[in-house]
Structure 1
Amino acid sequence: MDSVLVTGGAGGVGAWTVDALADAGREVVAVDREAPPTEERRDGVDYVAADLTDYGETRQVVDAAAPDAVVHLAAIPHPKDHAGSRVFTNNVESAYNVFDAAGAAGARIVWASSESCYGTVFAADDWLPDRLPIDEETPTQPEDPYGLSKVVGEEVAAAAARRHGVPAVSLRLSWVTFPGDERRREARETFDPATAAPSGNCWSYVDVRDVVAAVEAAIDPETAVDGHEAVLIVAAENFLGRDTAATIEAVRGELPAECDLDGDESIFDCSKAKRLLGWEPGHSWRDGAERGAERDDG
């Protein structure tokens, strides 16, 4: 694997991914709506500005880079700050354009899907699945434009894999956290089950360094998937340090009829990622990552 094109390269996850791939000696092309100022550019990385909702621009950028893999991280990341139609349209159009261009170039496809595809995070009502833990076989039931855009994006990735004969991996990420980000600590220290609002993902998260590791595993030619696969990428435990099932029941007043959770383990089962990609979470809020930033989440 020599060359990788990363969309959303100026974002939080994107910047970490660009740095890691460049550190590994890969040729990296970082694409975003605007190229960063010259003084902020990393040596050895090519920066390109493009509107990924424009198919012509997207195809030109991908064709010019001729990458071995495309990592698609660009998206409007939630439905709160934009009109729902804008979130859905932006995310789906850019996914189609990037995946079709990548497939035509014969590049492996990896992209950031989301736990929101299950309907968890932005559901209008007090949502719980029929069973816990959640895995890739759990039905996707989004109610919001962001989660819906991820479900459609996975179908677009699968279509590109079929049409072009390239592997495509949808990484279903939980809430991505960064070293130095104290939101987990603040939430943990102020948490009271009697007054806490229900958490759509039941206090799950994933460290950005584990996201990068999953991206690296998914683009590795030695970790080939057949067609399209969706895999959950989530930390092993919740960030509260509390028993997960007991906390859900205390906050929501009920549990699913089928609930098989042990201690503070996450509600998401990542065993498929281990089986297909050899990936397991390596970072926890307990390892002291909240005591000092290596990079902010930009």
Structure 2
Amino acid sequence: MRIFFTGGSGKAGHHVAPALAAQGHQVTNADVTPLGHPDVQDLRVDLTDAGETWSAMAGLASMDELDLPEKPAYDAVVHFAAIPAILVASDAATYATNVLTTYHVLEAATRLGIPKVVFASSETTYGICFAQGERRPLYLPVDEEHPTVPEDSYAMAKVSNEVTARSFQARAGTDVYGLRINNVIEPHEYAELFPDFLEDPSLRRRNVFGYIDTRDLALMVERCLATDGLGYQVFNVANADMSVAATTEEVREQFYGGVELRRDLGRDETFYSIAKARELLGYEPQHSWRDVLDDPGRA
């Protein structure tokens, strides 16, 4: 596939874009900062500018395409570009940037007739991650039907983007899939961060004790690109296990007393339900922190 990938130089993107290229896809990284990967074409694009966004998405991806009889169209857009969290920029700038860039990407993609858009939403939409004070889920496991009522600028923008995406999909009739991505973890971060998480599970309560390995995030995007005909959908994206050594029952007792449990959970099963992605996309994460670190709970 010929893929227009926004934000390929970010924490998640710089893993996912090359992974897609390794699968044989032609990937253009639209970002203000180049990725510099030999298998990914860099294109400097300011996505806050509607004209730049449209021009880039409608244009050539590489010099090699000059030798073709006519310019090919993109087969898919993967939109990861964003201010990545609160407290990186002002709240107003975070909201405005993340909403406007997503609008421009979706408008250009649907008007140009690109048949698939996969965009990064967030775990923060559920209102827990960046809440002021303590906030718990309304029920467990947290699935895509859980209310999304955040109070922070980043998550508000993500909820707005989901509404915008659904509206553009209704207009165009194409496939638009939103990914409510859990806390992104790079492979080297297991050794750096997870010993503290295993020692103190409370460090992970804002992420509903979940995480997503960048390699499994790439797998999720691949499954979205390979699965057609679902219209507008949102999917939770996480690894199959929790990011702590405590069992689900132990975490429930300590942090989620009185929270409704809607189904039985496995010993280490994530509270951030990925059942929908498994069912509709055939997504099955392949990695775990347990591949790198010893699980003291199983010693």
Q: TM-score, normalised by structure 1?
A: 0.88
| Offset at residue 198 of structure 1 (A) | 6.9
| Offset at residue 284 of structure 1 (A) | 0.7
1:95 is aligned to 2:91: no
- Give me the whole-angstrom Cα distance separating, in 2, the residues matched to 1:22 and 1:5: 12
Instruction: Tell me the percent identity.
Output: 34
| Partner residue in 2 for 1:86 | 93
Q: Whose RCO is larger (CA < 8 A, sep 6+)?
A: 1
Q: Which runs of 5+ in 2 are unaligned?
A: 61-72, 295-299
| Partner residue in 2 for 1:203 | 209
| Offset at residue 197 of structure 1 (A) | 5.5
AA partner of residue 137 (structure 1):
E
1:276 is aligned to 2:280: yes
| Offset at residue 98 of structure 1 (A) | 0.5
| Partner residue in 2 for 1:295 | none
AA partner of residue 257 (structure 2):
E
AA partner of residue 56 (structure 1):
G
| Offset at residue 289 of structure 1 (A) | 7.8
- Give me the whole-angstrom Cα distance separating, in 1, the residues matched to 2:249 and 2:10: 34
AA partner of residue 42 (structure 1):
P
1:256 corresponds, among 237, 255, 259, to: 259
1:61-102 CA deviation, whole Å, 9 max, x = no partner?
Answer: 111143100000101111122211111111110000001111
Give yes or no for contact 1:115–1:232 (8 Å, CA) kept in 2. yes
Give yes or no for contact 2:197–2:204 (8 Å, CA) kept in 1. no
1:161 is aligned to 2:156: no
| Offset at residue 190 of structure 1 (A) | 3.2
- Give me the whole-angstrom Cα distance separating, in 2, the residues matched to 1:70 and 1:13: 16
Alignment RMSD: 1.9
| Partner residue in 2 for 1:52 | 47
SS at match of 1:71: strand
Give yes or no for contact 1:126–1:198 (8 Å, CA) kept in 2. no
2:117 corresponds, among 101, 109, 126, to: 109
| Offset at residue 257 of structure 1 (A) | 3.4
Q: TM-score, normalised by structure 2?
A: 0.87
SS at match of 1:28: strand
Structural mapping, 1:1-298, within 5 Å: 2-36=1-35, 40-43=36-39, 45-65=40-60, 66-107=73-114, 108-181=116-189, 182-191=191-200, 196=202, 199-220=205-226, 223-250=227-254, 252=255, 254-258=257-261, 260=263, 261-288=265-292
Number of aligned residue pairs: 279
Give yes or no for contact 1:225–1:276 (8 Å, CA) kept in 2. no
- Give me the whole-angstrom Cα distance separating, in 2, the residues matched to 1:289 and 1:52: 40
Give yes or no for contact 1:180–1:289 (8 Å, CA) kept in 2. no
SS at match of 1:155: helix
Q: Which runs of 5+ in 1 are unaligned?
A: 291-298
Deviating more after overlay: 15-24 vs 51-60: 15-24
Give yes or no for contact 1:245–1:255 (8 Å, CA) kept in 2. no
